[in-house]
Amino acid sequence: GAPSTNPALRQALRAAETQDHPSFQEADEPEELKNLRANPVTVADVAAACRPEHHLRVLSWADGVNRGQGASMTLCLSRATAPLLAQME
């Protein structure tokens, strides 16, 4: 494939891959999250919540180059057609 232009791939890791992120520290867990841990959402649950007019489109750069998360999110947001959308990093 084409070489990556993602500058993050040229940086040293900030922490060991096996080290937990500081946000994983013990904290009081909301009841909703406890309930999800006890009764996780299934594929069938997700499929049942989907609407027929919704779909997933996979986008890529024509030259196949990896331009990084920021460029990918910008591209995806520029092509979104839904009236509302959620974004997770």
- Cα 26 from Cα 40, distance rounded (Å): 20
Alpha helix (H) residue ranges in 1-89: 31-38, 43-49, 69-79
- Cα 83 from Cα 74, distance rounded (Å): 17
Residue in 84, 77, 33 with CA at minimum distance from that of residue 57:
77
Q: Do residues 64 and 6 touch, judged by C-beta distance below 8 A?
A: no
What is the Cβ-side half-sphere exposure of residue 60, based on CA atoms within 13 angstroms? 9
- Residue type at 67? R
Look at residue 22 and tell me whether its pLDDT is greater than 80.
Answer: no
Banded pLDDT at 8 (limits 50, 70, 90): confident
Whole-structure pTM value: 0.41
Task: Report the percentage of the chain scoring pLDDT > 90.
Answer: 2
Banded pLDDT at 29 (limits 50, 70, 90): confident
